[in-house]
A and B are shown apart, each in its own frame.
Chain A
Amino acid sequence: MPVSDADGSGPSFKRRTVIVDGPDPIDQHVGGQLRLRRAQAGLTQTELGAKVGLSFQAVQKYETGENRISASRLYQLARILNVSLPYFFEGLDETGHPEETVGASDLTRKEASMVLGAYYGIKDPRLRSACLLIMARMAERSTDDDV
């Protein structure tokens, strides 16, 4: 991560350590993607570790970002998990921070879930359509008002 360019020589990079600074956010993100994909593939940490010659603790440390994954290992993992290398960096913005998505917000999730629940709670399909129409009109009007 760039620290400062006070001396005018451009951004410098401070060496960070897991013990002092905690895991690097990019390593954490890559580890999170690894964990997600491993779970999707239905592999336990032990099974994935066996495929790459590692213990399950080592896989665990990759997943938490505590240990950094080397390029060769990442390539190996991508092949085993049948994903492309960019997959591990999906969701990172240009500065290397995880992108905030609207859908990830707890509040939004809860609200969306409640709306869906209420909508499907209406058993009459005609009433459901009517509600949808009303909501669509209100949304249009809201946009117009905003403008």
Chain B
Amino acid sequence: MVINASVRVGDARPEIACAETESCSYLRALSTIEHIAGFEHTARNYAAAASHCREQGCRAVSMPDAGTPSASPTPIPIPVKAASRPPRLTAFAREAQTIPFIRSNLIDITSDHDGNYVERRALKLNSLPTRGDPLSSLYRYWGDLRAAGACQFSSIDTVPLTRAGIIGKLHVVDVSSGDPEEFRYELFGYDVPIGRYEAPRAYPVAIMADSVMRDYNTVRLTAVPRLHRMRCGIGGTTHHYTRLILPFLDKRAQVTRLLVAIREEAGNGVAVEPGD
């Protein structure tokens, strides 16, 4: 049995990227999430539905909306108070690690000799809008799971994720290894315009890879969600986005997976201006 078109519940379609060779990216992403959560039956059905798209038309539909995510979320302004240049992280130790202390009201800037830079600012989670924002919907859902003591990835329900309209902007990261160099993406958001990588260490620019691995590792070690505003100039293009990192536990209450959600901000994807 595949997803039945007769049970469609909404007219509006989510953002779907149908790659020529990979069929429906949206349903494939849902399939991957179900697979990671351990629901093989649903995963198989989503995958089958994805591969039938071309024959029988797109089967993906938006779920009825609880929070009505806005099409173009209003960016949260970044008050520039100061800028610091933290020491660049090199290789991570395999044993005990210290978590670099970063003051939340500062913007951390790292850059390299090729003109690439990464600006990162930690935002307070309560700065998320209360309604109409995909990241806040996701954070609320995660909060509900945590409150019920069900913060395992196997507890995840794809319907709230679908409603938040954020499937294409989600990464699932396997952080079961203690070594950030071995973190890997089990799902890389098909609608994230920064490339597609198998692991954070695979980012072509070292400062970006270091920054991502450091933040993922911080959430892994503390089990506390983090919200960042990122502005990067990589390979001549500006990437401007807000990133929410949510920890998920295994049965031994260890953080083994992260759900990373991206919200693009104004100025994303434009060319880096000279002297920027």
Contact = CB atoms under 8 A, between A and B. Distances in A.
Whether both chains belong to one complex is answered with yes
Interface of A: 28-29, 31-33, 35-46, 55-57, 60, 63-64, 90-91, 98, 103-104, 109, 112-114, 116-118, 120-121
A3 to B, nearest CB: 26
Instruction: Say which size band chain B's interface belongs to.
Output: 35 or more
Given A41-B9, A103-B51, A120-B20, 15 more contacts: A33-B41, A36-B3, A38-B159, A39-B159, A40-B3, A40-B4, A40-B9, A46-B144, A56-B150, A56-B157, A104-B48, A113-B22, A116-B51, A117-B19, A120-B54
Contacts of A120: 20, 54
A44 B64 CA distance: 11
Nearest to A105: B44
Interface of B: 1, 3-4, 7, 9-10, 19-23, 38-42, 44-45, 47-48, 51, 54, 63-64, 144, 148, 150, 154-155, 157-160, 162-163
Contacts of B51: 103, 109, 112-113, 116
Central interface residue in A31, A36, A55, A91, by most chain B CB within 10 Å: A36
21 contacts: A31-B41, A32-B40, A32-B42, A35-B39, A39-B158, A42-B159, A42-B162, A44-B160, A44-B163, A45-B159, A55-B148, A57-B148, A64-B38, A64-B39, A103-B48, A104-B48, A112-B51, A113-B51, A116-B51, A120-B20, A121-B21
- Grouping DSSP codes into helix (H, G, I), strand (E, B) and loop, the A interface class, with mixed when no group exceeds half, is helix
A116 B54 contact: yes
B21 A90 contact: no
Given A103-B51, A116-B54, A42 B64 contact: yes
Closest 5 CB pairs of A and B: A32-B41, A117-B21, A42-B63, A42-B9, A40-B7
A91 B1 contact: yes
Central interface residue in A29, A31, A37, A104, by most chain B CB within 10 Å: A104
A62 to B, nearest CB: 12
Contact of B157 (A40, A44, A103, A121): A44
Contacts of B42: 32, 35-36, 39
B31 to A, nearest CB: 10
A108 to B, nearest CB: 9
A104 to B, nearest CB: 5
B82 to A, nearest CB: 43
Central interface residue in B23, B44, B47, B148, by most chain A CB within 10 Å: B44
B190 to A, nearest CB: 15
A42 B154 CA distance: 19
A123 to B, nearest CB: 11
A104 B40 CA distance: 11
B159 A36 contact: no
Nearest to A32: B41
Contacts of A98: 41
Contacts of B158: 39
Given A35-B39, A36-B42, A57 B22 contact: no
Central interface residue in B1, B42, B144, B154, by most chain A CB within 10 Å: B42
B39 A63 contact: yes
A28 B51 CA distance: 24
A115 B42 CA distance: 24
A59 to B, nearest CB: 9
A48 to B, nearest CB: 9
